[in-house]
Chains A and B, each alone.
Chain A
Amino acid sequence: MSQIETKTADEETKVIIFRLLDEEYGVEVQQVKSIEKLEHITRVPRTPSFVKGVINLRGVVTPIIDLRSRFSLEEAEPTDATRVIIVAVDELEVGLIVDSANDVVDIPLQAIAPPPAVVGGVEAAYLRGVAKLEKRLLILLNLDKVLSTDEIKQLDAIEG
């Protein structure tokens, strides 16, 4: 967090806003490769339940995780508004299922505060911070943590 605080007042970051349940979340635009509609997902057996499977993203087999389920929120049937946000962190490329994705905003870095212990039922470890924008409260995700494969490996160890 110290990095963010030392930034000058007028610096901004562009984030893509999406919805999960009643909260608004943001991921930095540099980490987002594209936003897709939800199409046929091929289930991959014996993976954690939040891994919904893989899709054919223009010739690349891309894993899809359900963000609600990842954060242990109540799962929902997909609707017309459901989107898949394809994010890239390091060499990982993963699609995140979200309720809807509809906005891009600039957030002054100053407005980002460290996350409280639990926001909207999501553990602080998965969060980078929260940003207050006029009346809106945005929860910024820490994608490194969200996409950490540790849990998948752990599961592997138990089953294996």
Chain B
Amino acid sequence: MDMNQYLDMFIEESREHLQAINSNLLTLEDDPHDISVVNEIFRSAHTLKGMAATMGFEDLASLTHETENVLDLIRNQKLTITSEIMDVIFKSVDAMEEMVQSIMEGGNGVLDVSQLVEVLRTIVSGDFEQAVQESAAASAVALSNETSEEIVHSEGTQESVTRNYELDDYAITIMRQSKESGHNIYWIHISLREDCVLKAARAYMVFDQLETLGEVIKTTPGVEDIENERFDRSFEVIYITARPAEEITNKISNISEVSEVLIETIQLPDMNKEVAASAPVAQKQKDETKGNTPAQNQTATKKVNGNKTIRVDIERLDILMNLFSELVIDRGRLEQLAKEIDKTELHETVEHMSRISGDLQNIILTMRMVPVEQVFNRFPRMVRDLAKELNKKVNLEIIGAETELDRTVIDEIGDPLVHLLRNSIDHGLESPAQRTQMGKPEEGVVQLKAYHSGNHVFIEVQDDGFGIDKNKVLNKALQRGIVTPTMAETLTDRQIYELLFASGFSTADQVSDISGRGVGLDVVKTKIESLGGSVSVDSSPNAGSIFRIQLPLTLSIISAMLVQIEAEKYAVPLSSIIETAVVKKSDIMMAHRQQVIDFRGKIVPLVSLKEIFSIPVNGITKEDEVAVVIVRKGDKMAGLIVDSFIGQQEIVLKTLGKYLVNVFAISGATILGDGQVALILDCNALIK
């Protein structure tokens, strides 16, 4: 069988399972007695093993197999979890991730796992010989159980009363009515082949066939579980049809990858008797399910949260977005034309179209939103490893993981956050000994928090450590020549903290492996700013520090004000504009050789874009008034002098391409209604 078509599916599901294993392992580490978590992990590992084996990734399969053995002992309480065992399991999961990563990158997923396998085996055999014996006995019992179950199955054909259908009154009523109208009621047990990859699809085909001939009134497990492939290899249905059993058997057997079909007629002799007879059996079966598969119970509770969703290839969403961007550009063009032609019908049509495309835009943008959870859920593991490495005790609190952000932002935000978290744990938190001395709890708290506010998303990394040592920062900055002594005197606390983001800065005395990799927080700042966001820091001595990242909700389409300077047009993002104003030239004052205006009681410096961008001058200088766009960055403001305001417009953000990188004060470009390119101003760079 050609496996390539399943590769994507395999990769995606493996990653999900690995993620699940990882986060469950962390839960387990916190509470080693929680056997239900072990079951959860076991289930993921088991599925992963099955998938890997089917796809022919032997190393992955064998490693998962050995890990599974260890987990099996744990969940059967034959093995007590120790931190050594946890470490081995974590390492194994790392190796699995590595292999899946390699497969994802087109490799063959081959990795030397013999050492890990060896260690896992010694855990299973060496120290816990007795446990092994017990487990052998247990598996023997399990085996005999299985066989006896099979016997029950075959016996079931003769005597169906032994089987419990767990039917509710409604189903029984329907069955009774159908019986009376001459229909047959069957119990069908369908098994799929062991190597069946698309179980849900096969199950769907079975149901499809069944529904052409009759009616399915009940399935075990439930329909939703079957659709989501939450069943082992077989499932059961209660089925009403007018056709004979043989025909049904034939129909289903003809579906590929169905290995076995058991069918039998359900007898409904006497209502009361039936119910009475099945009740104790039901009780018994329920007990069994509890004992064997609590994991299934958990899936059931999880299922409740699951909304109805479909998976769409990200690429398709990107294409949709691009197509829509084109539409937005045309919309701009149409609006312009309608204005020129000035005909009521045209105006109305264009207006209507604009409204619809506005709604469409909202839908498409929200479609691209994904919860930050995607990025956040790899942090607990990272923080755990880091804390171990540094001998610190860290409690990572994650708040607001459900906050949604545009996918493009999500893709980029991971690295800066890793950097900030590492920074907080390495430089921010004290060692347990120091903490006890200072009267703080041994365990440091790092809080990762995401929330919406207006058109922005904020992500905060907060720790309860030392706080930032102002003097240390200042000294370092002086040493490195980032600030001059005269400047240093006038700096506020906050401005000093901001020095951390200056390039070539590192506060750790020793360069550690953790965050002193030669790159400082300036990398974080550059990255965040390239995403159209900003980052700030605040701190109080001995209470900790907080890094706050502000990000735009979306990077694709923004509202902007178009301005004209001589022959050139620029777009100023509305998010950074406070106001536009027309100022009399006589109101412009000079301060420190800098033009300033008095704007609502505040002194705002003026920035001449004409000078900064050396825009070719060919017109006559304007009257005695200038048009100014007041923009802000944090609580600082500046007035950009322009020739005229063109108007507000939705613009599609495009990059300048890889060739033109880091162009000063330009964050990107957009295509205007007339097909020309206008540059988007980066106001952050213009405000000093």
Interface residues, chain A, with chain B CB atoms under 8 Å away? 40, 42-47, 51, 53-56, 59-63, 91-94, 147, 149, 152-153, 156, 159-160
| B598-629 residues at the A interface, CB under 8 angstroms | 612-615
Number of interface residues of B (CB under 8 A): 29
A159 pairs with B664, CB closer than 8 A? yes
Set of chain A residues within 8 Å of B615, measured between Cβ atoms: 45
CA distance A63 to B613 in the complex (A): 17
The contact of B661 among A45, A46, A61, A153, by CB within 8 Å, is A153
| B537-589 residues at the A interface, CB under 8 angstroms | 568
Residue on B with the closest CB to A46? B664
Please, what's the 1-or-0 string for B619-663, where 1 marks a CB less than 8 Å from any CB in chain A? 000000000000000000000000000000000001111111111
Q: Which of B19-27, B38-46, B486-494, B671-679 contacts A (4 or more CB under 8 A)?
A: B671-679
Interface residue? B74 (CB, 8 A) = no
The contact of A56 among B613, B665, B677, by CB within 8 Å, is B677
CA distance A45 to B671 in the complex (A): 17
Interface residue? B669 (CB, 8 A) = yes
Interface residues, chain B, with chain A CB atoms under 8 Å away? 322, 325-326, 329, 568, 612-615, 654-666, 669, 671, 675-679
Set of chain A residues within 8 Å of B568, measured between Cβ atoms: 42-43
Residue on A with the closest CB to B322? A59
Closest chain-A Cβ to B133's Cβ sits at a distance in Å of 60
CA distance A118 to B326 in the complex (A): 45
A156 pairs with B659, CB closer than 8 A? no
Closest chain-B Cβ to A116's Cβ sits at a distance in Å of 29
Closest chain-B Cβ to A47's Cβ sits at a distance in Å of 6
Interface contacts beyond A42-B677, A59-B322, A91-B658: sample of 16 additional A-B pairs, CB < 8 Å, sorted by A: A42-B568, A42-B669, A42-B676, A45-B664, A45-B665, A54-B656, A54-B657, A55-B677, A59-B329, A63-B656, A63-B660, A93-B657, A93-B659, A149-B658, A153-B662, A160-B662
B664 pairs with A51, CB closer than 8 A? no
Residue on B with the closest CB to A48? B660
Set of chain A residues within 8 Å of B662, measured between Cβ atoms: 153, 156, 160
Given the interface contacts A59-B671, A60-B654, does A44 sit within 8 Å of B679 by beta carbon? yes
The contact of A45 among B614, B676, B677, by CB within 8 Å, is B614
Closest chain-B Cβ to A51's Cβ sits at a distance in Å of 7
Closest chain-B Cβ to A63's Cβ sits at a distance in Å of 5
Set of chain B residues within 8 Å of A46, measured between Cβ atoms: 613-614, 663-665
The contact of B660 among A54, A55, A60, A91, by CB within 8 Å, is A54
Residue on B with the closest CB to A65? B659
Closest chain-A Cβ to B582's Cβ sits at a distance in Å of 24
Q: For B613, B657, B661, B678, which residue has the most chain A Cβ atoms within 10 angstroms?
A: B657
Set of chain A residues within 8 Å of B676, measured between Cβ atoms: 40, 42, 56
Which 8 A-B residue pairings sit nearest by Cβ, starting from the closest? A45-B613, A42-B677, A46-B664, A61-B669, A61-B654, A63-B659, A56-B671, A63-B660
B671 pairs with A92, CB closer than 8 A? no
B659 pairs with A45, CB closer than 8 A? no
The contact of B677 among A54, A147, A152, A160, by CB within 8 Å, is A54
CA distance A92 to B661 in the complex (A): 11
